[in-house]
Amino acid sequence: MTQSPAISVESLQKTYRDGFFRGRRIEALKGVSLQIERGTIFGLLGPNGAGKTTLIKILLGIVRKSGGSASLLGRPVGDRIGRRSVGYLPEHHRIPRHHTANTALEYYGSLSGMPIRDIRRRTPELLQNVGLTGWGKTPVKKFSKGMQQRLGLAQALMHDPELLMLDEPTDGVDPVGRADMRAVLQGLKSEGKTIFINSHLLQEIELICDRVAILVQGELRREGLVKDLTQGGRSDVEVTLIGSESIIRTALGDRPIAQWTAMEAGQYRVALGLDHQPQVDECVDDLRQAGVSIVGLGRRRDTLEEAFLEIVADDPASAPPSSSSS
Ligand code: ATP
């Protein structure tokens, strides 16, 4: 029997009623369809107001959908058993400063109805999972932001959920803390967990996610593997060259130059619009014949941020991602 996806959303709609006598309709989701396979790390992206938080809230059973369907691990959203298989790390979560890591886990675990004996039994393993072994008795106020986020993750993992929903898990965390978090998430993925991340930090998403979806004004604009999105339509070849500028330009002839950058030590980095390998080979031959040294050569891919900006660029209401709250 094939397993149901971790998350399945079909023609999902949400219309808020707002304003005077709730007469203003805001279509936050306009028929979104999405499938997220188990055991993957999935990133949800979108400019402010795109509907990301609304989608997460519907999946968590906090907000009611207006139309369509959504299920988690094969069960309709809102279903109690299904919800028990989900761990959630909310955005801007704050662990009260008087707690130690151990008492914080006891507090949050008991809120979810877990017997204290089970919580205590599970705590050392959880702290180990998130790289906090030996920190159980330390007050949370001594933790860095990254450690606090990993403790938040331990809290979300307390009941051993299959699916983790993480809202801005590395917001405000320094690069070392983000690398630690990535390692923890990769470890969880290798255990078979599914991880759904909502984040404005596109570089993080690019480093960790298998697939991403881009939501703009309540509509799904793109969904796919990160590497497919970043390949985009661009077919630039980037070469780093040593030689005189005039000789390089003559050797390149009328080949389309997408970007020309003068670097240190008499080097030039040039992006060329060359689609096919024979064109690249011919260009290399011409440069070498002109006595130009080729220091580096590679195909240039979009970063996820560039791909994202291209996708939302034709949308006047869309702003680039910011670190503002969801
Ligand atoms: P951000 O990244 O800024 O948090 P988002 O992608 O999470 O944005 P949502 O918060 O889901 O977007 O909002 C989508 C749209 O729905 C916006 O136009 C927002 O103003 C509207 N909206 C969200 N919640 C409500 C609500 N409770 N009542 C009325 N309108 C709402």
Site of tokens 């014949």 = 289
Residue ranges lining ligand 1, Cβ < 6 Å: 16, 18, 26, 28, 46, 48-54, 326
Per the structure block, which two tokens stand in for 259? 């970007």
pLDDT greater at residue 6 or residue 93: 6
The residue whose CA is least distant from atom 27 of ligand 1 is 16
Model confidence over 128-166: pLDDT tens digits?
989 999 999 999 999 998 899 999 999 999 989 999 999
What's the rounded Cα separation, in Å, for the pair 248 and 292? 7
φ, ψ of residue 93 in degrees (nearest 5): -70, 140
Closest C-alpha to 38, from 129, 213, 161: 161
Kindly give, in sequence order, each residue whose CB lies less than 8 Å from that of residue 284, ignoring residues fewer than 6 positions away. 294, 297
Residue 235 in contact with residue 273, Cβ under 8 Å? yes
Per the structure block, which two tokens stand in for 252? 């390149």
Per-residue confidence (pLDDT) for residue 325, from 0 to 100: 39
Pocket test for ligand 1, best of 9, 44, 52 (most atoms within 8 A of CB): 52
Pocket test for ligand 1, best of 12, 14, 15, 16 (most atoms within 8 A of CB): 16
Residue 114 in contact with residue 83, Cβ under 8 Å? no
3-state secondary structure the chain: CCCCCCEEEEEEEEEEEECHHHCEEEEEEEEEEEEECCCCEEEEECCCCCCHHHHHHHHCCCCCCCEEEEEECCEECCCHHHHHCEEEECCCCCCCCCCEHHHHHHHHHHHCCCCHHHHHHHHHHHHHHCCCCCCCCCEHHHCCHHHHHHHHHHHHHCCCCCEEEEECCCCCCCHHHHHHHHHHHHHHHHCCCEEEEECCCHHHHHHHCCEEEEEECCEEEEEEEHHHHHHCCCCEEEEEEECCHHHHHHHHCCCCEEEEEECCCCEEEEEEECCCHHHHHHHHHHHHHCCCEEEEEEECCCCHHHHHHHHHHCCCCCCCCCCCCC
What's the rounded Cα separation, in Å, for the pair 113 and 106? 10
Pocket test for ligand 1, best of 9, 26, 44, 199 (most atoms within 8 A of CB): 26
Per-residue confidence (pLDDT) for residue 281, from 0 to 100: 94
The residue whose CA is least distant from atom 28 of ligand 1 is 16
pLDDT band at 83 (very low <50, low <70, confident <90, very high): confident
Q: Is the pLDDT of residue 322 over 60?
A: no
What's the gap in Å between 201 CA and the centre of ligand 1?
A: 19
What's the gap in Å between 38 CA and the centre of ligand 1?
A: 27
Per-residue confidence (pLDDT) for residue 1, from 0 to 100: 58
Model confidence over 33-53: pLDDT tens digits?
999 999 999 999 998 889 999
Per-residue confidence (pLDDT) for residue 316, from 0 to 100: 55
What's the gap in Å between 211 CA and the centre of ligand 1?
A: 23
Per-residue confidence (pLDDT) for residue 314, from 0 to 100: 63
What's the gap in Å between 55 CA and the centre of ligand 1?
A: 10
Q: Is the pLDDT of residue 323 over 50?
A: no
What's the gap in Å between 86 CA and the centre of ligand 1?
A: 23
Closest ligand 1 atom number to CA of residue 55:
11
Closest ligand 1 atom number to CA of residue 29:
14
Closest ligand 1 atom number to CA of residue 48:
3
Per the structure block, which two tokens stand in for 185? 């998430």
Pocket test for ligand 1, best of 15, 53, 168 (most atoms within 8 A of CB): 53
Q: Is the pLDDT of residue 257 over 80?
A: yes
Burial class of 1 by CB neighbour count within 10 A (0 to 12, 13 to 18, 19+): exposed
Closest ligand 1 atom number to CA of residue 14:
16
Read off the pLDDT of each residue in 310-317 and give the average, rounded to a whole number. 70
Distances (CA, A) of 134 to 54, 101, 142, 194, 280: 38, 10, 13, 27, 55
What percent of the chain clears pLDDT 70, i.e. is strictly above it? 93
What's the gap in Å between 51 CA and the centre of ligand 1?
A: 6
What's the gap in Å between 45 CA and the centre of ligand 1?
A: 14
Burial class of 115 by CB neighbour count within 10 A (0 to 12, 13 to 18, 19+): exposed
Per the structure block, which two tokens stand in for 109? 């675990």
Q: Is the pLDDT of residue 300 over 80?
A: no
Closest ligand 1 atom number to CA of residue 53:
7
Per-residue confidence (pLDDT) for residue 142, from 0 to 100: 94
Read off the pLDDT of each residue in 233-253 and give the average, rounded to a whole number. 89
Read off the pLDDT of each residue in 208-213 and give the average, rounded to a whole number. 94
Average pLDDT of the chain to the nearest whole number: 88
pLDDT band at 258 (very low <50, low <70, confident <90, very high): confident
Residue type present at position 44: L
What's the rounded Cα separation, in Å, for the pair 220 and 232? 17
